Structure 1
Amino acid sequence: MRKTAYILPAVVVVLVLFLSSIFVVDEREKALVLQFGQIRAVKEEPGLAFKIPFIQEVVYYDDRILSLDTDTIEVTPSDDRRLVVDAFARYRIADVVQFRQAVGVGGLRTAEDRLSGILNAQIREVLGADQVTSDVILSADRRQFSNRIRDAARVSARSLGLDVVDVRLKQTNLPSQNLEATFARMRAEREREAADEIARGNEAAQRVRALADRTVVETRSAAQRDADVTRGEADAERNGIFAEAFGSDPEFFAFYRSLQAYETALTGDNSRMVMTPDSEFFEYFKNQGAQVVVPESAAPEAPESEDAAEAEPEAPAPAAAAPAAPSPDAPSPDAPDTEVPASGAPAPEAPVSE
């Protein structure tokens, strides 16, 4: 019984000491074995490991890629327009020994504070460099600035045992007090570009319109020239036909032209012409050189007595037409005499031989 009383506590003590000397390293972690604050071993491979119980202790650090959001800061590019910049970084603990020596017992909180200061300093340095304007920073082509910030921060973070994997700019905005002025400037710039485009469009339209007008004028001139040539040739042919006809029979030509003049002048219901009876216009309406032939049956009988003569006055004998100057349509002397109706209307003209 006495041996059992001593053996059981000894077994318990040995079991506790054994369990205190064993620790497990996860595949997502790295471990440091410390003895009185000094690093005695580094455990980076996953699995079981041993330490001296009650003398050594184990500190675990995350071996995964971690994220860090920086504080919002204001930077001033080369064009003196302030920008509000907010970034985030991806980093991992590359050297746990150096990390422990750099941050001590502060751990990740202290490391992130120091890394955030490094990132803010690099952001101000890169975005505030010469020839870096706010328009370039606000454009879509700002990946180069993120790469430059990452490379510079990676060099500075090596002293902390950290490896900066990536840096991205989340937002690069203007301060609220500068937004309205910036929008007004952008609006004026866009309006100027629109005015330039409108001016170029109007210039192109004017060139097209001028070319079209010149083409129209040239086409019309050519058509008018061809029409004038055709009209001149037709007039020449017509005048040749008229001249040939006039030379063949001048009298008939003059008669035909007079008929055309009558048809043109006396057209319409309201035509009125005031002229003297001996006008040349009615030359072919006259009865020049016509002789009056009275039939025997129409001749008046001689009165039988003086009473009869007094009762019925003797009708005056029609006087022969006075000889006048021959007209173009006057009958020849050999032609038979033309009778004149009693109403005094002109007798029909003799046919004109061609």
Structure 2
Amino acid sequence: MNRILMPLAIVASILLVIAVSCTFIVREREYALVFALGEVREVIDEPGLYFKLPPPFQNVVYLDKRLLTIDDSEAERIQTAEKKNLLIDAYVKWRIADPRLYYVTFGGNEAGAQARLQAVIRDALNASVNRRTVNDVTSKERDVIMTEIRDNVAKLAGSVGVDVVDVRLKRIDFVPEISESVYRRMEAERKRVANEQRSIGAAEGERIRANAERQRDEIVAEAYAKAQALMGEGDAEASQVFAEAYQRDEEFYRFYRSLEAYRASFKDRNDILVVSPDSDFFRYFNDMPNGMTSPVPRPVPPGPSPASAAP
């Protein structure tokens, strides 16, 4: 019985090995290249279970289908149009677009493909940075540079079966020997811009102040003109009132004006008036106006009398 089972087990094992060698599985994250006698017969990019001839008639090579990254740990030293050296650190996102062409070019060696792409990226980076200034690379045209590098690398990478998805500049630094001079120049540039802005602000302030003073002068002049006009109207109305009062009773008007003059002349106890008592100024001190029944009392100023003070 054992003599019968042993050959059957051997045959079953051989058949199992042949069956296993004739099947292969393709996963979602990979390509499968089926080779026949060293030549690529088929490229499979859909996941599933597939069959092939047993080795050495056919064999399968797998390639990564996922998005891959090239991230160089050492920054590249690149010179700008101003002959200033920059340390630029970039990374690239790429994937295999044509598995057959990729394998023919690199033999399925991912490290070789990355080295080739790094060299292409270095050349494209030099071409974009060498014709730009430090200010352009660090701020003004950084996005433009990344787009140029991606387009240039994509053209060259397409010929080897690689698709470049994105290129980014992670870090841009100055080399130590020029950092201090660059910082001083940047500081001077910022100061120049600040002074320019201050000058513009001062000029604008002067313009605003001049405009405000002009408007003030116009308003004051207009107000003064209105005030003079109102004063003129008031004086005219007062003159008319005085004229009407004078026409009604001329003697009373003279008497009233004399009283106003007396009040203005003797408003302070220390006021001294040196004048002859017989002058017309003291007319109403000596004479009674028409219609008065008693003489007007004569005011006595303090101090020496006008008569004694006269020469």
Q: What does 1:155-304 correspond to in 2, within 5 Å?
A: 155-236=155-236, 238-239=238-239, 253-274=253-274, 281-286=281-286
What whole-Å deviation, never above 9, does each CA across 1:263-293 have from its counterpart, x for those lacking one? 111113333445565565444434xxxxxxx
For residue 98 of structure 1, what is the aligned residue in structure 2? 101
Please state whether the residue corresponding to 1:139 is helix, strand or coil.
helix
- Aligned 8 A contact 2:88 2:169 in 1: yes
Query: Does the 8 Å CA contact 2:40/2:100 hold for their aligned counterparts?
Result: no
Cα deviations by residue, 1:140-164 (Å, 9 ceiling, x for unpaired): 6533322322222122223433222
Alignment RMSD (CA, Å): 3.6
Q: Which residue of 1 aligns with 2:62?
A: 60
Would you identify which runs of 4 or more consecutive aligned residues in structure 1 move more than 6 Å? 243-250
d(CA) in 2 for partners of 1:237, 1:43: 116
Identify the residue that residue 295 of structure 1 maps to in structure 2.
none
Shift in Å at residue 119 of structure 1?
A: 1.1
Partner of 1:123: 125
Q: Which residue of 2 aligns with 1:86?
A: 89
Alignment partners' CA distance in 2, 1:330 and 1:79: 111
Could you tell me how far apart the structure 2 residues matched to 1:95 and 1:84 are? 33
Residue equivalent to 1:112: 114
The 3 A distance-change label for structure 1 pair 87 and 330 is: closer
Partner of 1:348: 295
Deviation of 1:73 (Å): 0.8
- Specify the SS of the correspondent of 1:67: strand
Residue 307 of structure 2 corresponds to none
Query: Which of 73, 77, 101 pairs up with 1:74?
Result: 77
Q: CA deviation at 1:99?
A: 2.4
Q: 1:122 to 1:245 in 2, by over 3 A?
A: closer
Distance 1:3 1:172, change over 3 A: same
In structure 2, relative to structure 1, the CA distance for the partners of 1:198 and 1:35 (3 Å cut) is same
Query: What's the CA shift string for 1:89-127, capped at 9, x where partnerless?
Result: 12222333332332236x111111111111111111122
Structure 2, unaligned runs of 5 or more:
298-311
1:99 and 1:162 in contact (8 A); partners too: yes
Partner-residue secondary structure (3-state), 2:211: helix
**Greater C-alpha radius of gyration:** 1
Deviations 1:209-245 (A, max 9, x none): 3233233323333333343344345445555665676
Q: Is the 8 A contact 1:25 1:43 kept in 2?
A: no
What one-letter code is carried by the residue in structure 2 that aligns with 1:113? A
Structure 1 residue matching 2:107: 3-state secondary structure:
helix
| Deviation of the 1:56 alpha carbon | 4.9
Matched-pair contact (CA < 8 Å) for 2:80–2:129: yes
CA distance in 2, matches of 1:250, 1:243: 10
Query: What is the one-letter code of the residue matched to 1:163?
Result: D
Counterparts of 2:249 and 2:43, CA distance in 1:
140
Q: Does 2:156 align with 1:137?
A: no
Residue 86 of structure 1 deviates from its aligned partner by 1.7
Task: Determine helix, strand or coil for the equivalent of 2:82.
Answer: coil
Contact 1:75/1:83 (CA < 8 Å) preserved in 2?
yes
CA distance in 2 between counterparts of 1:6 and 1:195 reads 99
Percentage of identical aligned residues: 35
Q: Which amino acid aligns with 1:59?
A: V
Q: 1:104 to 1:253 in 2, by over 3 A?
A: closer
Task: Tell me the amino acid that sits aligned with residue 155 of structure 2.
Answer: V
Specify the SS of the correspondent of 2:28. coil
Partner Cα separation in structure 2 for residue 8 and residue 216 of structure 1: 117
Q: Report the equivalent of 1:313.
A: none
Partner Cα distance (1:100, 1:170) in 2: 30
Q: Give 5+ residue unaligned stretches, structure 1.
A: 287-328, 333-337, 339-346
Farther-moved stretch of structure 1 (152-161 vs 227-236):
227-236
| Residue aligned with 2:225, SS | helix
Q: Which moved more, 1:154-163 or 1:222-231?
A: 222-231
- Kept in 1: contact 2:101–2:160 (CA 8 A): yes
| 1:300 match | none
Name 1:298's counterpart in structure 2: none
1:255–1:158 distance in 2 versus 1, CA, 3 Å: closer
SS at structure 1 position matched to 2:106: helix
Note closer, same or farther for the CA distance 1:32–1:220 as it changes in structure 2 (3 Å cut). Answer: closer
1:15 is the counterpart of 2:16: yes
The residue type equivalent to 1:266 in the other structure is F
Tell me which residue corresponds to 2:308.
Answer: none
Match of 1:148 in 2: 148
Question: What is the TM-score when the length of structure 2 is the normalising length?
Answer: 0.75
TM-score between the two structures when normalised by the length of structure 1: 0.67
CA contact (8 A) 1:25 1:49 kept: no
Given residue 126 of structure 1, which amino acid in structure 2 is its aligned partner?
A: S
Structure 1 CA distance, aligned partners of 2:104 and 2:289?
152
